[in-house]
A and B are shown apart, each in its own frame.
Chain A
Amino acid sequence: MNFVHLHLLLNHFPILGTVIGVGLLLGSLLGKNQDLRRASLIIFPAMALMAIVTFFSGTGAQGAIQKAPGVSDALITRHQGAAMLALLFMEITGAISLIALWKSRAAPRPPRWDWSMSAVLLFSLLTAALMARVGTTGGDIRHPEIRTGHEEVAESSTFGKIVHRFEPSPDKFAELMTASKWWWAFMMDMHFVGLVLLIGSVGILDLRMLGFAKQFPIEPLHRLVPFAMFGFGLNLITGILAFTGMSAFYTYDWAFWMKMLAILLLGVNVAAFYLTDAFESVATLGPGQDAPPLAKFIAATSLILWFAVITLGRYIQPYSDTITVHK
């Protein structure tokens, strides 16, 4: 398996996932079905996470095929710009979905349709449209038979022409990220601040479930989760910006990919916590009460994986120079 395979495998998730999510959301409106709505709110953040890894795998795919006959740099650049814009909207959709989920958790009755749901609907529709463009511009790279133009970036549709004006130029964007040492230092600083907020909030909840400081009732500690998400959001933004600045540096580094794998597994971990009865089983626990084994297992996995993420992040630097860069 190489980066091309990885990219072609991963790209189905954010593209199809967004369409499925939008379908469920619209279906929930027609049928006033709460379960469908909830399902769409879970799908969007999951796809937002998958979209990041898909985006990251693109640099490796580019490195592998850009010298092949019939592959045009202009088409790759257009696809990259489209992917950056779609990724932005996908992340916004995922973030608002999490806010909507958090609000519905606090409500005693099924959630009413409020601003967060309207925003999810709006952004998911925009994301689906942008994802479709990412898919077609990506397909154009390798499938000359379906190409409408030739070597030049031909915008066939009005939609493409309009959207293209908002798409960043990948090379200029990368230069912008690395132009100033102080901007880079600021991003890395924020990445550490995010780390502290995340580990602090998640860590104390996990430790309590594992039996440390049992004087704490669990439900109040769970209210720190928005802080953890804020920290994760900071790291997601600074992480993506850092990647776009030095994509070749990160792409050919095994520690970076292991870190991404650990983050995806943490996504599974969070899903396991909320979608099994683990969360229900601990939410009512008061001082001194012991969490059931499943909740303990999920808490232990979360702690191990977060420390693995820190470890792998720290090792990105030294090993990066030991890996040959395929140019």
Chain B
Amino acid sequence: MPPLFLQTIEDTALSTWLRESESPFAFYFVLLFHTFGLALLVGANVIVDIRLLGIARAIPLAPMQRLFRIMWAGFAINALSGVLLVIAYPTKSLTNPDFYVKLTIIGLAIWVMYKLRTNVFADATLSESEMTARGAKLAKWSLLLWFAAITAGRLLAYTYKYLTYPS
């Protein structure tokens, strides 16, 4: 049997409401914001990545540091909505190994994003060729990790063992 604290979380008013409410502002609203966050975070990061890898070279690189605000906003939305999604279905997520794979991948992807910001975009004296030289490898990792993160996230819908705590 899964650990009992999962049942405790499921029995809280917040978890029950998120899961069982007929309101359009319950579970699927949180899931919607998780998708918005994904679009902002990964959408913006992918643009920076492909530019560093040599696509659409005409776009000046330096202003791209503005996009990191969008990425952090997306990350904040997804951290918050992610916690709420776990509160709604704690047994479903926390008993699934894929959930921990997903969190690890996201941790790595965010670390790569932070390195991009500090190694490539923080120093305003760097030329564009110096920036791409420093960023190309990080950009490849970033694309790979975000692709893996989306895949691991999507698989959560198809690989869980329990939907709710077994009675």
Contacts and interface: CB of A to CB of B under 8 A. Distances in A.
Nearest to A310: B35
Interface residues of A, number: 35
B150 to A, nearest CB: 5
Contacts of B147: 193
Given A200-B44, A224-B47, A315 B28 contact: yes
Interface stretch (A39-47, A140-148, A157-165, A213-221): A213-221
Majority secondary structure of chain A interface residues (helix, strand, loop or mixed): helix
Majority secondary structure of chain B interface residues (helix, strand, loop or mixed): helix
B63 A185 contact: no
B83 interface: no
A196 B42 contact: yes
Interface string A192-204: 1101110111011
Interface string A178-198: 000110110011001101110
Contacts of B153: 192
Contacts of A221: 56, 59
Contacts of B31: 314
Interface in A215-274: 215-217, 219-221, 223-224, 227
Contact of A219 (B35, B47, B55, B58): B58
Contacts of A212: 66
A102 interface: no
Contacts of A220: 56, 58-60
B62 to A, nearest CB: 7
Contact of A317 (B28, B39, B146): B28
B43 interface: yes
B67 interface: yes
Interface string B9-36: 0000000000000001001100110011
B28 A195 contact: no
B157 interface: yes
A196 B63 contact: no
Nearest to B50: A227
Contacts of A317: 28
A196 B154 contact: no
A314 B67 contact: no
Contacts, number: 97
A318 interface: yes
A185 B157 contact: yes
A193 B58 contact: no
Interface in B51-106: 55-56, 58-60, 62-63, 66-67
A66 interface: no
A192 B38 contact: yes
Contacts of A307: 36
B35 A213 contact: no
A305 to B, nearest CB: 14
A309 to B, nearest CB: 11
Contacts of A185: 154-155, 157-158
Contact of A223 (B58, B62, B67): B58
B17 to A, nearest CB: 15
Given A193-B147, A200-B43, A213-B63, A314 B35 contact: yes
A104 interface: no
B43 A215 contact: no
A16 to B, nearest CB: 37
Contact of A199 (B27, B43, B50, B150): B43
Contacts of B42: 196, 200
Contacts of B150: 189, 192-193, 196
Interface of B: 24, 27-28, 31-32, 35-36, 38-40, 42-47, 50, 55-56, 58-60, 62-63, 66-67, 146-147, 150-151, 153-155, 157-158
Given A189-B154, A213-B66, A215-B60, 17 more contacts: A189-B151, A195-B39, A196-B38, A196-B150, A200-B45, A200-B47, A203-B39, A204-B44, A204-B47, A215-B63, A220-B58, A220-B60, A223-B58, A224-B47, A307-B36, A311-B32, A318-B24
Interface of A: 181-182, 184-185, 188-189, 192-193, 195-197, 199-201, 203-204, 212-213, 215-217, 219-221, 223-224, 227, 287, 307, 310-311, 314-315, 317-318
